[in-house]
A and B are shown apart, each in its own frame.
Chain A
């Protein structure tokens, strides 16, 4: 796959590569999550529409389960080092370390209650609804007359599950799914306030231990979930946060998944930066990677027979003496017929300018930021007052001025891997239907140097007077096309990466031993139907006639001037096909005489059959054999 890449070059090591970062700090950025799912009868009887255009209603219990299942499938691919437990409360059966009633921890063999997700967990969890009534059972845990408190028990169990790991290095979270906004509604009098107090205290104890409790409420449009009834206090919502808590949520399945996904993403600071604005005034910024290419996980090489992982070992052998060397710390660059050797220290000295700081150089109008000034994904900056008071204040003041004056800042970033000029663009907050689409802050864009910019246009510039520009009429025709094929609501989150999705689907199918690989819809293909609409076709036709003329023949154009290279390639293929016929390949293969042929001869076969011709002789032979199915 094209996704693989290796960066061994010291000038290429990218320190703010979030994935490299992740693997470095696996420990400190781990996350432990307990999914706490209400299994009371009300969860089974209440429903809400599955999706906007679907009339089918689904039970709240089902919605919670499919959300979790979806998130598990994502987690196992993206963040499989994070650990989780799934725990139901208001159950008939009990299973937990403390032997508390009404709480059931779901698990599969070869796995602790709180552990990394496994294929088996996902597989059995997907089937849990079939056997739920039989094995676990739904039963209200808070009923008048008893002092049983299943919610209290549930939080206690969750807390016990999250006992392992230090709060310093692990984020511990409880995600609570319920549709009961008033869990103690059926209890009266002093007992009620008593139970309420105890439950809140239990939650507070957990929070004091560094566990955050988050609520994912389910409700029906006609019967909204009232957070202020009880849960606001439990999860510690402030008065002014109440309004934002349930943004326009009809609690459809999609919304719920979306909410869960958003909450599952944990902000991770890539780096803390000191931004020197003028002499004597600097502020602290945190950098975040909001946009980074996602790639399939790392490859582990396995022995093809045993499927055991292969250990990768590196020994360095001195090219001169053949002796084993401890480690390769030196590198060389050929120059003037000699190899100039650099030590790692010298290389980092070459790259050292102003250590790790961001130094403001000045401002320019946004129109100066050309569209080809780009090399890699941007990095997001948000101020922090942690180390330096006033950082936020100064940042906001600059941010506002930059937006008003339509200017961006130019700064020098003395990062240790690649010191570079950067553009800082102030981004105003964008909120759409209650959600933050673009957070407020600045985007840091690495600018190319003159060495990085190629003069392609100049290289292909034409001789005098050869360039023709479109006429106004042609431009108008083009404008018609543009109006017709308009993506009004285009958003960058619109397309899933089909290659990646396919890879995940294959991986999941293999791991869960599913028979079929689910078909992935390639969302990136053009909308053929839309393009076939008469209006669009007509506009395109007119544009075509206007720029290409009436009697334009594509075939003729295509065949008119095949390039030198393609001519050559074609000629070669012809020769190869001809030569290829002179051999009895089947015979040669059967008698094992292929290896007696020369590489040139082997390549006749490969070229004639349109196969790659790269590799050593053995590779060529085996490729031929594979192709002949022998």
Chain B
């Protein structure tokens, strides 16, 4: 395989790194997992530094290189490696990253002495807080430069992921840090090294990538400004959705009617118009391959939400200085003038589709990366639906925010800041991993050991992607509180439509009811949210008893309310949903008493207490509001004895 990769992970496990090792474990094991799936013949080696022990070939051959352990020699990825990376040992010494780099390089060179087709890659993860040792000959700079040159000769690429900021417990020695920064930059200059600084666990998680598929060019050829002026470009995908590709367990059999006896039919009203492939080929639209300029326009004419698809990138044809210059001139002029170029593209020969898109300059700030362009597909006239919406200014005054509310909103927008000046920006897409994928890969690993394993919960680190960052919320508590104060509670008590919806539902067949309460398949989640999201149950009951008070509808209403309460409690944060849940419960209790369904209610309440052990709060809240089981004494059909009453601490 020509695109095989040999990767050595250089992991700092010294004491100052201990706090982030759990994330590094997940990150690296997931990398190997992905390789297991997509690049099974890639080789990976693991080198630890900052360990108490020393175990590497160089130390045997040359001496030195202490506290560097080769955990795994370069070998094809396997499950064993995934497991090894999941429980990295913690080291006790300050690590020397330069030693680790040399050990890693040595491994790569020994395995692949010639610069053959294997892609050699080193990946260093460290906080670069510990000084590297003084060298025997020359300065540290000279030493690093020599090593970097070697690396370059052997065609090895390096990635440095530097952990910093809040993630480092230990107070960093400033001079050491800046020295290390300078040294690492030498690598970046001398070789194709990517240095990434990460300040929070989420971006550390997203910092390490592996290529699942070798990228193919979408197009290679001329960007035609006119028939006379052309620029040689290569077009790649810049973004593309990365998804696992699952296959069906069962195959469908061969199709009975073979393809040459079938013909396509397109609907034209109620009729179907047959169009044979031959006829279609003869008359279909056949544009010529090519990328042509239509013109330039102000970037304000191309709004952000017009972008239709994943994004392409236009780079100059490699090693073509003319193309590099031409693109650079164009990109920089467009950037200055705030222009977007509109292109018409037919990427491949024989393609029946034309796309129109905007070419947006991407000025490079790195010395070794040429200027390029991003390309976003824009909609055709047919793709745009011109719906009209009321102007906000024309809405009635009661719906308009007042001055105070506007200020509260402005404060929120300003202060709930994910991109503070001078600090690391949170949730940068480039460093934010996909939590679904992470969970999928983790599940895959679990299931490979135990096919019956349950789906694991979402990773704690990655909750920062799906939920607001509690630190940020805490920091802006006053802003958030004043925002909450300014906008009064917003439950609409007269929720007519929903009531109608529920009524319709309650009149539907028993079968439907049953299906509604079966927990969880994804398609039902939507239904559930839609239907019992926000009615206040007293109204639901009123509406029901008012019109169709059938036995079924009561049972259904109780079920609905139960679901609603479970949901409220499930979603409750610090008890903010408790008043609403209590309201529902009280209504349910009343209804059950009236309908002599006390048992139903009591069962439900017992279930509720078992629902979650963390529900002590809620139990306490209920008790403090005087809501208990329906006692037997008062009502004939209830069978509660005193012992059944919950004991609330």
Contacts and interface: CB of A to CB of B under 8 A. Distances in A.
A355 interface: yes
Contacts of B261: 303-305
A303 B263 contact: yes
A380 B488 CA distance: 26
A191 interface: no
B125 to A, nearest CB: 15
In the A-B complex, list the 10 residue pairs whose CB atoms are closest, starting with the nearest.
A348-B522, A470-B329, A443-B305, A397-B409, A316-B250, A450-B206, A478-B333, A362-B418, A439-B389, A397-B401
A468 B325 contact: yes
A477 interface: yes
Given A492-B384, A557-B322, A452 B242 contact: yes
A9 B243 contact: yes
Given A319-B251, A354-B466, A476-B333, A11 B244 contact: yes
Given A341-B451, A405-B413, A548-B326, A371 B318 contact: no
B242 A451 contact: yes
B239 to A, nearest CB: 5
A334 B325 CA distance: 46
Contacts of A54: none
B60 interface: no
A517 B253 contact: no
Given A310-B262, A352-B525, 20 more contacts: A9-B245, A262-B388, A309-B265, A338-B448, A362-B469, A363-B416, A386-B492, A386-B495, A391-B490, A397-B408, A429-B391, A450-B429, A467-B324, A475-B332, A476-B333, A492-B381, A497-B380, A497-B383, A507-B266, A547-B329
B310 interface: yes
Interface string A338-355: 101110111111111111
11 contacts: A288-B387, A301-B262, A368-B419, A372-B374, A394-B401, A468-B325, A470-B371, A485-B225, A526-B293, A528-B227, A554-B230
A526 B223 CA distance: 13
Contacts of B227: 528, 531
Contacts of A389: 490-492
Interface string B67-80: 00000000000110
Nearest to B248: A328
Interface in B251-306: 251-253, 257, 260-276, 280, 283-285, 287, 292-297, 301-306
A356 B529 contact: yes
Q: A interface, by DSSP: helix, strand, loop or mixed? A: mixed
A46 interface: no
A345 B329 contact: no
A497 B382 contact: yes
B241 A397 contact: no
A307 B274 contact: yes
Contact of B433 (A393, A450, A468, A524): A450
Given A334-B37, A369-B304, A388-B492, A376 B309 contact: yes
A390 B239 contact: no
A396 B401 contact: yes
A120 B37 CA distance: 56
A380 B385 CA distance: 11
Interface residues of B, number: 202
Given A116-B269, A374-B311, A404-B410, A1 B429 contact: no
B455 A346 contact: yes
Interface string B379-408: 111111111110110010001110001101
A548 B325 CA distance: 8
Interface residues of A, number: 220
B170 interface: no
A512 B353 CA distance: 25
B611 interface: no
B138 interface: no
B249 A450 contact: no
A476 B336 CA distance: 10
A470 B380 contact: no
A499 B353 contact: yes
A10 B209 CA distance: 24
Identify which of A355, A488, A507 gathers the most chain B CB atoms within 10 Å of its CB: A355
Contacts of B287: 498-499, 522
A511 B334 CA distance: 48
B295 A511 contact: no
Interface stretch (B89-97, B434-442, B548-556, B638-646): B434-442
Interface in A541-587: 541, 543-544, 546-549, 552, 554, 557, 563
A151 to B, nearest CB: 28
A547 B468 contact: no
A89 to B, nearest CB: 25
A193 interface: no
B354 A499 contact: yes
A359 B467 contact: yes
Interface stretch (B104-112, B358-366, B629-637): B358-366
A484 B532 CA distance: 60
B257 A278 contact: no
A20 to B, nearest CB: 13
Interface in A46-83: 76-77, 80
Contact of A469 (B247, B295, B328, B426): B328
Contact of B295 (A1, A9, A319, A486): A486
A370 B428 CA distance: 10
B466 A390 contact: no
Contacts of B573: 279
Given A396-B399, A450-B432, A401 B297 contact: no
B435 A353 contact: yes
Interface string B200-222: 00000011010100010000100
Contacts of B414: 363, 401, 405, 407
A463 B157 CA distance: 12
Contacts of A385: 399, 492
A393 B270 contact: no
B144 to A, nearest CB: 15
B329 A374 contact: no
A242 interface: no
A345 B211 CA distance: 29
B435 A419 contact: yes
Contacts of B211: 454
B610 interface: no
Interface string A298-335: 11111111010110001111110000010010111111
B329 A1 contact: no
Contact of A495 (B380, B489, B574): B380
Contacts of B253: 315, 317
Interface stretch (B172-180, B186-194, B538-546, B594-602): B186-194
A289 B337 CA distance: 32
A483 B266 CA distance: 45
B296 A485 contact: yes
A133 interface: no
A622 interface: yes
B487 interface: yes
A215 interface: no
B458 interface: yes
Interface string B414-428: 101111000001110
Contacts of B503: none
Contact of B267 (A297, A419, A465, A544): A297
Nearest to A110: B270
A152 interface: no
A488 B300 CA distance: 11
Contacts of A386: 492, 495, 497
A482 B332 CA distance: 11
Interface in A485-533: 485-488, 490-500, 502-503, 506-508, 510-511, 517, 520, 522, 524-528, 531
A492 B490 CA distance: 38
B381 A493 contact: yes
A470 B409 contact: no
A289 B401 CA distance: 27
A34 interface: no
Contacts of A277: 412, 483
